[in-house]
Amino acid sequence: MERQSPLAKILIHLAALCLAAVIIAPVLWLFVMSISPAAGLSARPLQWWPAEVDWSRYATLLSRVENSAGAAVTTSLANSVMVAGMATLAAIVLAVPAGWAVSRTPSVGWSLNAVIATYMLPPVALAVPLYMALAKLGMLNSVFSLALVYLTILAPFTTWLMKSGFDGIPREIEAAAMIDGANLWQTLRIITLPLALPTIATAVLFAFLLAWDEFFYALLFTSDLRAKTLTVAIADIAGGRVSDYGMIATAGVIAAMPPVLIGLLMQRALISGLTSGGVKG
Amino acid sequence: MSRTWLTTRAWLLMLPLLAVMVGVIGWPLAETVRLSFTDAKLIGSGGDYVGFANYAKMLSGAAFQKTLWTTLWFALSSVTIEMVVGVLAALLLNQRFYGRTLLRAMMILPWALPTVVNATLWRLIYNPEYGAANAALMQIGLIDSYRSWLGEPGSAMWAIILADAWKNFPLVTLIALAALQAVPRDTIAASLVDGAGAFQRFRHVTLPHLVGPLMVALVLRTIEAFKVFDIIWIMTRGGPANTTRTLSILVYQEGFSFQRAGSGASLALIVTLIVSVLALTYGMLLRKSAGSTV
């Protein structure tokens, strides 16, 4: 690399400082709102940092007292974990064999292209019949139905990731195992799947994040705490007549915590997934 | 092993995926097509065949055309901002400075924040009475009274675009940065020896490595922006005076709020068609540019 002139050095550091401020300020503000007393948040001029840190909202929202705001958050949090977990598991179970098949037998690749092309479909194009069918079957407002519907988003994406992952594992290794007498199942179990584990892990992360983020289907297909996910619960809190904005912010911090932690800790896996051709929208 | 067996085996392994996809995508899509030619209601049975009446009604309505322009405006503005700021940030993060590793790690924050949380956060920031945007701009002296950023037709869309761009430009940055790191150092060294200036170096050495990944990001972000629902629903629900109503919001209102399943379905298919045409055009451009720059 070329040597930086002192002026360039200063400019680069200034620009980096601006970028850092742009990235951090909104996130930090969300957190500050969640620990500021309500009076400080409605003061003019605004109190940018609380004189007294107030953690009580976290206790309120994470409590399990029935019919409280806390119950709404903890129950919908559990629903989100269930829906995202089930949908992720199903998406991986479907994607691993299909991704391997397309990777090793390119002649069936057009079917995967057809599956990936469904990415262009706006969810509104599927929502009306899905709603009518679930209503008819009495399956609205259920975490299972929601997880099933989430496969429309998750499965094409995980299959695409798995296919490119298997493409990176040379066929020759599998062929060598076969020559040594292993059958197909043994080859896949002993050779291919262990090598594909990093890709599977990446696919799990992306699938979980996509499901955690989902709002549209959850808004349409759930109506109460038996199935409402956290995204819908937050929209309820934010849309309702809450006098304390700190409460909305606290719910936001709670919902953001899992994906933000995954993002910060698993950065390497996520970025490899982003750049291997898979891009989360 | 014979070729037919290999193909059969591949189909067998794909069967579970394909079966689920037909169930949750194929069938609903076919059903949407059928509904679009009927006057079916969301709740209740039946619906009579009405031919192209729904399409005619939707396409000729003033709401559709206005909404189409609103969607185009949103997609074009937010994607342009994301691409430009995203690439500039990537170029910066590819320089040497103190705290670079930390800042690179931070870039994942907005991307990891759930869309609903992001929308809620910005709604609080834009709050007309207590919002941080009003407080900050007032303290700096840029405005002399608090404004309702999301409540005024003139500023609501820009406020949403800003919130959307903030969340999504880091994705472009991460993709562009990975591409920048893949530029061979030898090539850069060689261009320095040959006396290339900073701009020439960017244009002829760096840019060719960026074009491919950036085109992919551009296509995906544009499709996403066209389908936008969540952020707008949370921030304004399409208001004020429908100035932020995009196509997905319009379909939701028609199909679910007004429970007109038939015309909602026809509108949904029109949107799908627009997104497909857009994606195909992009795909062709992508192939062309891949052919000319590599």
Q: Are B131 and A33 in contact (CB under 8 A)?
A: no
Q: Tokens 């406020």: give the residue.
A: B159
B210-253 pLDDT, tens digit each? 888 888 888 889 999 999 999 999 999 998 999 999 999 999 99
For residue A253, the model assigns a pLDDT of 96
Asked if residues A154 and A87 have their Cβ atoms less than 8 Å apart, the reply is yes
- Kindly list the residues from chain A whose CB atom is less than 8 angstroms away from the CB atom of residue B178: 271, 274-275
Q: Could you tell me which chain A residue has the CA closest to the CA of B266? A: A125
**Residue B1, pLDDT score:** 61
CB A112 within 8 Å of CB A160: yes
**Structural contact between residues B37 and B52, judged by C-beta atoms closer than 8 angstroms:** yes
pLDDT (average), residues A160-169: 91
Please state, in angstroms and rounded to a whole number, the distance separating the CA atoms of residues B23 and B67: 31
Confidence at residue A281, expressed as pLDDT on a 0 to 100 scale: 33
- Average per-residue pLDDT in chain B? 90
CA dist list (Å): B30 to A88, A183, A206, B57: 26, 41, 29, 21
Predicted pLDDT at A276: 64
Nearest to B13 among A42, A98, A281 (CB): A98
What average pLDDT score do residues B57-84 get?
94
**Option in B114, B129, B234 nearest A238 (CB):** B234
Nearest Cβ partner for A26 among B121, B227, B272: B121
A125, burial (CB in 10 Å: exposed 0-12, middle 13-18, buried 19+): buried
> Three-state secondary structure along B121-135?
HHHHHCCCCCCHHHH
The pLDDT value recorded for residue A279 is: 41
Work out the average pLDDT over B11-36: 94
Q: Does A258 touch chain B (CB under 8 A)?
A: no
Buried b (16+ CB within 10 A) or exposed e, A80-112: bbbbbbbbbebbbebbbbbbbbbbbbeebeebb
Q: What average pLDDT score do residues A183-197 get? A: 90
pLDDT tens-digit profile of A74-112? Answer: 999 999 999 999 999 999 999 999 999 999 998 888 988
pLDDT at residue B290, as a whole number: 60
Chain B residue whose CA is closest to A219:
B230
User: What element of type H or E holds A106?
Assistant: none
The whole-angstrom separation of Cα B11 and Cα A101 is: 8
Give residue for tokens 């092309």: A117
Q: What is the pTM of this model?
A: 0.91
* pLDDT band with cut points at 50, 70 and 90 for residue A280: very low
Q: What interface predicted TM-score (ipTM) does this complex get? A: 0.92
B114 close contact with A: CB closer than 8 A:
yes
Computed over every residue of chain A, the mean pLDDT equals 90
| Inter-chain residue contact B18 with A111, CB threshold 8 Å | yes
Task: Summarize the confidence of residues B88-98 as an average pLDDT.
Answer: 94
The secondary structure element, H or E, covering residue A120 is none
Under 8 Å CB-to-CB from A27, ≥6 apart: which residues?
B109, B110, B113
Task: Mutate one of A121, A178, A193, A208 to test the B interface: name it (highest B CB count within 10 A).
Answer: A121
For tokens 């790191």, name the residue.
B181
- pLDDT confidence band for B291 (50 / 70 / 90): low
B255 contacts chain A (CB < 8 A): yes
Chain A CA closest to residue B272? A121
Those residues whose C-beta lies under 8 Å from the C-beta of residue B6, and which sit 6 or more positions away, are A104, A105
Where are the alpha helices (H) located in chain B, listed in sequence order? 3-21, 27-35, 53-60, 62-93, 100-106, 108-112, 115-125, 132-140, 153-181, 185-193, 198-201, 207-226, 230-235, 247-252, 261-293
Kindly report the number of other CB atoms within 10 A of residue A260's CB atom.
20
Residue in B4, B11, B21 to test binding to A, most A beta-carbons within 10 Å: B21
Q: What is the predicted pLDDT for the residue at B285?
A: 76
Instruction: State how far the Cα of B125 lies from the Cα of B167, in Å rounded to an integer.
Output: 14
Q: Each residue of B46-60: pLDDT tens digit?
A: 788 998 999 998 899
Contacts B236 to A, Cβ<8 Å:
none
| Contact list, B10 vs chain A (CB under 8 Å) | 101-102, 104-105, 107-108
Distance between B213 CA and the closest CA of chain A, angstroms: 8
Model confidence at B294: pLDDT above 60? no
Best mutation target, B39, B111, B116, B215, to test chain A (most A CBs within 10 A): B116
Angle between helices B62-93 and A6-35 (to 10 degrees): 130
What confidence tier does B109 reach under pLDDT thresholds 50, 70, 90? very high
Q: Which residues of B touch A264 (CB under 8 A)?
A: 105, 108-109, 112
B100 touches chain A (CB under 8 A): yes
Give yes or no for residue A125 having a pLDDT over 70: yes
Q: Classify the phi-psi angles of A228: left when phi > 0, otherwise alpha if psi is within -120 to 50, otherwise beta.
A: beta
Long-range (24+ apart) CB contacts under 8 A made by B30-33 are: B31/A128, B31/A129, B31/A132, B31/A133, B32/A125, B32/A126, B32/A128, B32/A129, B32/B265, B32/B268, B32/B269, B33/B265, B33/B269
Give the whole-number percent of chain B exceeding pLDDT 90: 65
Say which residue, B260 or B290, is predicted with more confidence: B260
Q: State both tokens at A1.
A: 């690399």
Which residues in chain A have Cβ-Cβ distances shorter than 8 Å to B233? 215, 219, 235
pLDDT in tens, A8-17: 999 999 999 9
